[in-house]
Structure 1
C-alpha cells in the first residue's frame, strides 16, 4: 500500500467532501439532510456526525472497503467531535472480514508511561480528587489511535493514509459549522479551556464561546493529518508531534495568572516511540444460535456483555412480559458488573479468567441468584476460576473506578460484506483539557480509568492499559453478520449495547426503536440509571413494583448500529434525539 501524499488525492478528498457524486449515486452531498436511520443495499454508515458519515460513504463510493471508510469517518470525527475522540486518544476496532469469514480485533488503547507506579494518583496516602486527576498531565496515556488506524489500513484496508485522511484535511481547512451540541460541550469545559492557552486559542475565539452557526477551521490539525498522510504513524510517534505531546504533558500550557492546580506528567519520547497496537482474538460467545464477537481485556465490554447474555439465555425472553424481561436483564447486568469489577484488567498484567467468565455453567450459577425482586444493592462477585481450564488465584474485588462519558462509536459495512464496529475516545468530555500547541488536537485523560487504590488488577502500572468499557460488537448467524453496534457512555456502554442486543434479537424490536428506547443501566449499585423521563414510563412503574430504584441521567450513550437482512438489505440506525442526533447513510436507498 502506498503512503505518499499526492495532490490528486487531496483534490479527490475535497471533491468528495463537497458532495460530488460517486459511482454508486448515493445521496450523500453536503446539502443532504442528516437523518438517524436509512435502509437500502450496498454499504452503510452509522455515526454521530453527518460530515463523518459523508466522508465514510464517499470512500466506499470511491472503491474503498469498510476499514478504509471507518478510518475516514474516524479522522473526520476527530475534527468535528474533538471533545469525544481524536488522535490524542485510543480505541478498539472489531472487523468482520467477509472473504475469510473471520473476526479480528485491533486494540489501540492508550498506555501508561514508563514512569507510572501503583501510587501515582495518591497524595498523602489518599487519592487525588478525581476532577484534579482529570485535568492534569498525569491523566494522559500514550495515544494509540494513529497506530490503530495504520494497522487497520495496512492489514485489512485497500486505500492509503493519504486517501482516507483527505476528506478530514479538506474540512479542517475549510471549516465546519458549530451546532448547539458542539457549543454546549465547550461551555461545559469553559473554565478548563480557559486554563490552557492552546485550548482557549482554538475553542474560545476572542475569549468567548463560538456562536452557533459560525465556522471553526483547524489548520493545525490539517497539518498534523498531512504529516501522518505523508509519513504514516511514524510521523506521529516520533519527531515534532511526539515532542509536542511530551512537552504538553510534562509542562502543561497553563495560561498566565491561572490558579488551577495542574499536575505535571512524566513522559519520555521513548514512551511515545515504543507504543504498539495489539491484534487480539475477539471474545466469542454463543447466544440462542447467534455468535457474538466483542473485545477482550483491557476492554471489559466483550466479557461483561457475554456473561450478561449467558445469564439471560436461561430465560425465554421473547415470551416474557416487557417488565419481566427487563427485570431479568437488569439483574443479569448487576451480576456481570460485579464480576467485571473484580477480575477484568489488562491481560498482559493480570490473569483474567476469560474462559470461566464466559462459561455457561458459571452463568447458570449466577442466574440462580436472580429472584422475583431486585437486589437491594451491590452483590458479591462470583468465582469463575472454578470453570477455568487453567485455574488461577482469585483476585480481590474493588469499587468500580470512575469512567468518562465522552466517547464516540461508528459502524460501517461495505457491499462486499465486510463490517467494522469501532469505538474510540479521549475519555472525559474534552479529555484532559489540553490542546497540543501547534497540532490542533486534545489529549486524553484515559489513565483515570485505573483504580487509584491497590490491591486491584486495574491499578496503575508502567506500560499498562487501563480497563475500558468500550464494547464494539458484531453478531453473526450461520457465519453471516446480522448486527453490528456500539456506543459511547462510559460504563453505561456495556448496558446500552446489551439492552439493544436483547431488544433486537429476543424481542424483535426494529433497529430504530431499539436505538430510541429508554436505557436502563444497572452496574451493581443501589440504583439503576435511566434516561431522564424514562423513570415515569409504565415499564419503569412496573419495575418499581419489583423493587427497582432509579437515578436519572442524560448520558446513557449514543448507539450507532447496522442490521443486516435478507437479500443484501441493510438498515443503519443512530440516535434521533440524544446528543444532537446521529447520521445514517446507505449506498443505495
Structure 2
C-alpha cells in the first residue's frame, strides 16, 4: 500500500477513524466492523459483537484468524468494574512430547518444515472462549451472531490487497486443499475477485444448529482429526472433547498515574508490555522529541531487557511456577534499568535473576534457536453503549497457520504448537495438554479506575512493541490516537538488529547505528493496531484502525439504535 495518492489517503482515513457517543467497533476489515456495528445497533452488547466479529474475520482474514485457531478475549464489565480474560489458547494433544520438533538425530527441524505439519496443530480454543464469554456476559443467542457471516460467506466478499499479499508471500505454506481453494487452477485470487465460501457457510450452519459442541465432539471434530492425521499429526477426538477454556485474572501493573491491564500467562504479552513500561517510567520519555534518538534508544534497550526475560521465564502457569512477582519487583526493575547507559547498545544485556525477589523454585533456562518466522494475527475491539469493553487478539499463528484446510468444512488449522521451545528442558517445552507461550496483548488503560484506552495488535512478538509504542505516543506524547498508531515503530527483541517502519527520523537512525544497532536494510510494517480512546468526562469514543491493513472504525450515537417496541 505504498505511494497512494492524497485522495485515497483521505478516503482511508475516513474509513479508519470514527467518533461515537454510544458505541464503537474497530477491526482490521470493513465487513467485520460492519457486522459488529450491526450487532450493537440491534441491541447487543460488546461481547455479542466480539463473537459475531470473530466469525466474520474467518471469512475475510482467513490467513490471520479463524475457528481453527485461538485467542485471548478481554472483557471489561462496566457494572462490576471487573476485567476478565477468556483464554481460548491452544493446548497440546495428549500424545505430544518434549522432542516433538527434533529429528531422529536430535537436531531441530527447520521452521518452514516443522510449521506446516499436522504435528504443529494445537487444539483450537477460540470457539470455547467465545462460548464461555457469551454464556457469562452475552445477551444474544450464538445462532443469531453467526447469521450475518453466513450471508457474506454464501454471497461472497471482494478479495482485498491484504489477502492478495499473503497469497503472494506465503503461497508455500498452503496445503493441497487450501491451495485448490485460494488458487483455483493454479492462479491466486486478485484484488476485487469475489471469494465465496460455501463450505465454511455450511460449517457455520452446523454450529448454529448444534452449538460449539459440534466442533469439539461432532462431525466437524471428525473432519479436523481426519485432516490432521493425514498430515502426520496425532491429535485424537478425545483431545478436542476434553478441551477447556479458562477464565483468568488479567496481568495488572502501573505506568505513571495509569493502571495497565493486559493478558496473563500463558501469554507473555501482558507481562512484557508492563515490564517495558516500568523500565521506561523513570526516564520520562516526554522530555524528548517523539522522533529523537533518545526515544528510539530507550525503547530499544527496554525492549531487549524485557524480551530476554520473557524468553527465559514465561510459560504455561499450569505447568510451571513463574517468577512474576520477582520480575515486577521494584528492585529488580531498578537492576534492569542500570543496563541503559545512553552511550552504546549494551552487549551485556541478558535475562536477569528475578528468583531472588520471588519465592518460587528456580528453573533451568535452555537456549533456543531463533529461526521462527514472524506470525500474523488480528486484533479487534468493541465498546458498547453501557461502557462494556471486549478486546480480542485471535490467530491461526503464522500466515495460513499450518496450511491445512479442513476438507469439506472450509477453515484453516493453526500451527501454534511451534510457539513451544524446539529444544526441550525449559519451562516452555512441549508437554501434553500444555499451552505454549504467546505474545497476544489485548490491553486496557485505566485512569482513576475509568477505562480511557483499549488497544491491541497482531504480529507475534512485534505485538508487544506495537502496543507499547502506541501507549507511549498517547500517554507521554499526547498524540491524537490515529497519529499515535501511525507514528513509525521499531522492534528489536534481543539481537543487534532493529526492524523499522518507513518514516522514522533518519538522523536518529544514524545515531543508533553509531551506537552499535544494526537496522534491517528495508523497512516494513510492524503490527496492526486497533484501538478505542474513551473520554472519561462524557464517555464518548474515538476509534482508530491501523493503515497497514484495510482497517475500519464505526461509531454509534444513541439516535442510531433501533427503537424497541
* TM-score past 0.5 threshold: yes
The residue aligned with 2:186 is 207
Mapped partners of 2:266, 2:348: distance in 1: 23
SS at the partner of 2:475? helix
Counterpart check, 1:102 vs 2:94: no
Counterpart check, 1:543 vs 2:512: yes
Note if contact 1:341-1:397 (Cα within 8 Å) is conserved in structure 2: no
Note if contact 1:403-1:448 (Cα within 8 Å) is conserved in structure 2: no
Q: Which runs of 5 or more residues in structure 1 are unaligned?
A: 1-30, 253-263
Q: Out of 239, 244, 254, which is 2:223 matched to?
A: 244
Counterpart check, 1:432 vs 2:402: yes
SS at the partner of 1:46? strand
Q: Which runs of 5 or more residues in structure 2 are unaligned?
A: 1-10, 561-565
Mapped partners of 1:82, 1:368: distance in 2: 44
CA apart distance, 1:403: 5.4
From the superposition, tell whether residues 486 and 378 of structure 1 become closer, same or farther in structure 2 (CA, over 3 Å): farther
Counterpart check, 1:581 vs 2:550: yes
Counterpart check, 1:63 vs 2:33: no
CA apart distance, 1:575: 1.3
Mapped partners of 1:546, 1:393: distance in 2: 35
Mapped partners of 2:510, 2:362: distance in 1: 43
The within-5 A match list for 1:554-565 is 554-565=524-535
Structure 2 length as normaliser, TM-score? 0.92
Counterpart check, 1:118 vs 2:98: yes
CA apart distance, 1:534: 4.0
Q: CA RMSD in A?
A: 1.9
CA apart distance, 1:426: 0.3
CA apart distance, 1:34: 6.7
SS at the partner of 1:117? coil
Q: Out of 116, 120, 129, which is 1:148 matched to?
A: 129
The residue aligned with 1:450 is 420
The residue aligned with 1:257 is none
From the superposition, tell whether residues 131 and 435 of structure 1 become closer, same or farther in structure 2 (CA, over 3 Å): same
SS at the partner of 2:340? coil
The residue aligned with 1:174 is 155
CA apart distance, 1:555: 4.5
Counterpart check, 1:128 vs 2:97: no
SS at the partner of 2:301? helix
Note if contact 1:377-1:527 (Cα within 8 Å) is conserved in structure 2: no
The residue aligned with 2:198 is 219
CA apart distance, 1:387: 1.9
Mapped partners of 1:539, 1:37: distance in 2: 30
Note if contact 1:381-1:397 (Cα within 8 Å) is conserved in structure 2: no
From the superposition, tell whether residues 374 and 347 of structure 1 become closer, same or farther in structure 2 (CA, over 3 Å): farther
From the superposition, tell whether residues 374 and 417 of structure 1 become closer, same or farther in structure 2 (CA, over 3 Å): farther
The residue aligned with 1:81 is 61
SS at the partner of 2:444? strand
The residue aligned with 2:6 is none
1:435-484 alpha-carbon deviations (Å, 9 max, x no partner): 10010100011111111112221111111111111111111111111110
1:318-366 alpha-carbon deviations (Å, 9 max, x no partner): 2234322332122111101110011001111111111111222211111
Mapped partners of 2:118, 2:350: distance in 1: 35
From the superposition, tell whether residues 173 and 378 of structure 1 become closer, same or farther in structure 2 (CA, over 3 Å): farther
The residue aligned with 1:316 is 284
Note if contact 1:378-1:525 (Cα within 8 Å) is conserved in structure 2: no
The residue aligned with 1:363 is 333
CA apart distance, 1:215: 0.6
The within-5 A match list for 1:365-444 is 365-377=335-347, 379-388=349-358, 390-399=359-368, 402=372, 404-444=374-414
Note if contact 1:286-1:292 (Cα within 8 Å) is conserved in structure 2: yes
1:520-564 alpha-carbon deviations (Å, 9 max, x no partner): 112111112112x34663442343344433124524110001111
The residue aligned with 2:24 is 44
Note if contact 2:51-2:145 (Cα within 8 Å) is conserved in structure 1: yes
Q: Which moved more, 1:322-331 or 1:394-403?
A: 394-403
Q: How many residues align?
A: 542
Note if contact 1:403-1:491 (Cα within 8 Å) is conserved in structure 2: no
Note if contact 1:487-1:560 (Cα within 8 Å) is conserved in structure 2: yes
The residue aligned with 2:496 is 526
Mapped partners of 1:142, 1:185: distance in 2: 24
